[in-house]
Amino acid sequence: MASGPVARVLVDSPLPQLDQLLDYRVPARLADAVSAGVRVRVPLRTGGRIADAWVVELAGRSEFRGELSEVQDVVTDVPLLMPDVWRLARAAADRGAGNASDILRLAIPGRYVRAEKAWRADPGEPGALPASGRAIDGYEPGRVERGLAEGERMALHADPRTVRLPSGTWVGAWAVTLAEAAAHVLAHDRSSVIGVPDYRDQEQLQAALGELVDPRRVIRTDARQSGRDRYRAFLDATGEAARIVVGNRSTVYAPAARLGLIAVFDDGDGLQSEPLAPGVHARDAALIRQEQSDAALVFIAQTRSVEVQRLVEVGWVHDVPLRRGTRPRVVLTEQQPAPESGGARIPSAAWREAQEAIAQGPVLVQVARPGHAPMLVCDRCREPARCTACGGALAVPRSGGPASCVLCGTSANGWRCRICEGTRLRAAVVGASRTAEELGRAFPRSRVVVSDGERPLVRVDAEPKLVVATRGAEPIADGGYRSVLLLDGERMLLRESLRVAEDCLRWWSNAAALAAPGAPVFLVGVGGAIGTALATWTQPAWAAEELASRRALRFPPAVRMASVVSSRERLAEGLERIRGIGGVDVLGPAPVDDGLERAVVRFGYAQGAEVAAALKAEAIRAATERRRPVAGRRPGRPPTLRVRMDDPDLP
DNA sequence: AGCACGCCGACT
DNA sequence: GTCGGCGTGCTC
Q: Are residues A157 and A46 in the same domain?
A: no
Q: Are residues A334 and A313 in the same domain?
A: no
Q: Are residues A474 and A494 in the same domain?
A: yes
- Nucleotide nearest A25, CA–C1', reads C12
Please say which residue of A293, A320, A347 terminates a domain.
A320
Q: Are residues A224 and A349 in the same domain?
A: no
User: Has residue A117 been placed in a domain?
Assistant: no
The answer to whether A562 touches A613, Cβ cutoff 8 Å, is: no
Q: Are residues A511 and A594 in the same domain?
A: no
Contacts with A29 (C-beta within 8 Å, 6 or more apart), sequence order: none
Helix axes A282-292 and A83-95, enclosed angle (nearest 10):
130
Contacts with A200 (C-beta within 8 Å, 6 or more apart), sequence order: A456, A458, A475, A476
Provide the CA A635 to C1' B11 distance, Å, integer: 26
- Which residues interact with strand C by a CB < 7 Å criterion? A 15, 17-18, 22-25, 42-46, 62, 64, 66-69, 624-626, 629, 635-636
Contacts with A122 (C-beta within 8 Å, 6 or more apart), sequence order: none
- Nucleotide nearest A46, CA–C1', reads C11
- Domain of A286 in residue numbering reads as 143-320
- Nucleotide nearest A15, CA–C1', reads B1
* Phi then psi dihedrals of residue A585, to 5 deg: -130, 160
User: Has residue A490 been placed in a domain?
Assistant: yes
From residue A182, alpha-carbon distances to A257, A589, A600 in Å are 14, 47, 40
- For the whole model, what pTM was predicted? 0.92
- Nucleotide nearest A640, CA–C1', reads B1
Please say which residue of A320, A347, A370 terminates a domain.
A320
Q: Are residues A286 and A174 in the same domain?
A: yes
Contacts with A345 (C-beta within 8 Å, 6 or more apart), sequence order: A335, A337, A434, A487
Provide the CA A637 to C1' B8 distance, Å, integer: 21
Q: Which residue is nearest to nucleotide C9 (CA to C1')?
A: A624
Provide the CA A592 to C1' C12 distance, Å, integer: 39
Provide the CA A636 to C1' B11 distance, Å, integer: 27
DSSP H or E stretch at residue A91: helix A83-95
Q: Is A257 exposed, middle or buried (0-12, 13-18, 19+ CB in 10 A)?
A: middle
Provide the CA A631 to C1' C2 distance, Å, integer: 31
Q: Are residues A215 and A336 in the same domain?
A: no
Per-residue pLDDT reduced to its tens digit, A278-309? 999 999 999 999 999 999 999 999 999 999 99
For residue A385, the model assigns a pLDDT of 83
Provide the CA A275 to C1' B10 distance, Å, integer: 52
- Nucleotide nearest A45, CA–C1', reads C11
Q: Are residues A513 and A595 in the same domain?
A: no
* Phi then psi dihedrals of residue A49, to 5 deg: -150, 165
Q: What is the CATH number of the domain that holds A168?
A: 3.40.50.300
- Which residues interact with strand B by a CB < 7 Å criterion? A 15, 17-18, 44-49, 623-624, 637, 640
Covered bases, chain B (protein CB within 7 Å): 1-5
Q: Which residue is nearest to nucleotide B1 (CA to C1')?
A: A15
Q: Are residues A266 and A351 in the same domain?
A: no
Covered bases, chain C (protein CB within 7 Å): 6-12
Q: Are residues A27 and A65 in the same domain?
A: yes
Q: Is A459 exposed, middle or buried (0-12, 13-18, 19+ CB in 10 A)?
A: middle
Question: Ramachandran region of residue A91, left (φ > 0), alpha (ψ -120 to 50) or beta?
Answer: alpha
Provide the CA A40 to C1' C3 distance, Å, integer: 39
Provide the CA A641 to C1' C11 distance, Å, integer: 20
Q: Looking at the 3D structure of chain A, how many domains does it have? A: 4
Q: What is the CATH number of the domain that holds A31?
A: 3.40.1440
For residue A254, the model assigns a pLDDT of 98
Q: What is the CATH number of the domain that holds A585?
A: 3.30.70.1710
- Which stretches within A361-444 are classed as H helix? 436-442
User: Has residue A621 been placed in a domain?
Assistant: yes
Q: Which residues pair with A427 in a beta bridge?
A: A376
Provide the CA A640 to C1' B3 distance, Å, integer: 20
Measure the CA–CA gap between A464 and A359, rounded to whole angstroms. Answer: 6
User: Has residue A583 been placed in a domain?
Assistant: yes
Q: Name the CA dihedral angle for A226, A227, A231, A232, rounded to a multiple of 10 degrees.
A: -30
User: Has residue A101 been placed in a domain?
Assistant: no
Measure the CA–CA gap between A181 and A190, rounded to whole angstroms. Answer: 11
User: Has residue A201 been placed in a domain?
Assistant: yes
Task: Tell me which residue of A14, A93, A8, A22 sits closest to A57, measured CA to CA.
Answer: A8
For residue A483, the model assigns a pLDDT of 97
Measure the CA–CA gap between A50 and A48, rounded to whole angstroms. Answer: 7
- Which of A51-88 are b and which e, b meaning 16 or more Cβ less than 10 Å from the residue's Cβ? bbbbbbeeeeebeeeeebbebbebeeebbbbbeebbeb
- Nucleotide nearest A22, CA–C1', reads C12
Q: Are residues A293 and A437 in the same domain?
A: no
- Nucleotide nearest A18, CA–C1', reads C11
For residue A492, the model assigns a pLDDT of 86
Provide the CA A633 to C1' C5 distance, Å, integer: 19
Please say which residue of A33, A56, A79 terminates a domain.
A79
Q: Are residues A590 and A457 in the same domain?
A: no
Residues of chain A whose pLDDT is less than 50?
627-636
Measure the CA–CA gap between A470 and A474, rounded to whole angstroms. Answer: 7
For residue A431, the model assigns a pLDDT of 52
Q: Which residue is nearest to nucleotide C7 (CA to C1')?
A: A635
Provide the CA A593 to C1' B9 distance, Å, integer: 39
For residue A626, the model assigns a pLDDT of 59
- Which of A129-144 are b and which e, b meaning 16 or more Cβ less than 10 Å from the residue's Cβ? bbeebeebebbeeebb
Provide the CA A626 to C1' B11 distance, Å, integer: 31
- Nucleotide nearest A13, CA–C1', reads B1
User: Has residue A92 been placed in a domain?
Assistant: no
Provide the CA A48 to C1' B8 distance, Å, integer: 27
For residue A38, the model assigns a pLDDT of 97
- Nucleotide nearest A42, CA–C1', reads C12
- Nucleotide nearest A48, CA–C1', reads B3
Provide the CA A636 to C1' B7 distance, Å, integer: 19
- Nucleotide nearest A23, CA–C1', reads C12
Measure the CA–CA gap between A381 and A313, rounded to whole angstroms. Answer: 34
User: Has residue A286 been placed in a domain?
Assistant: yes
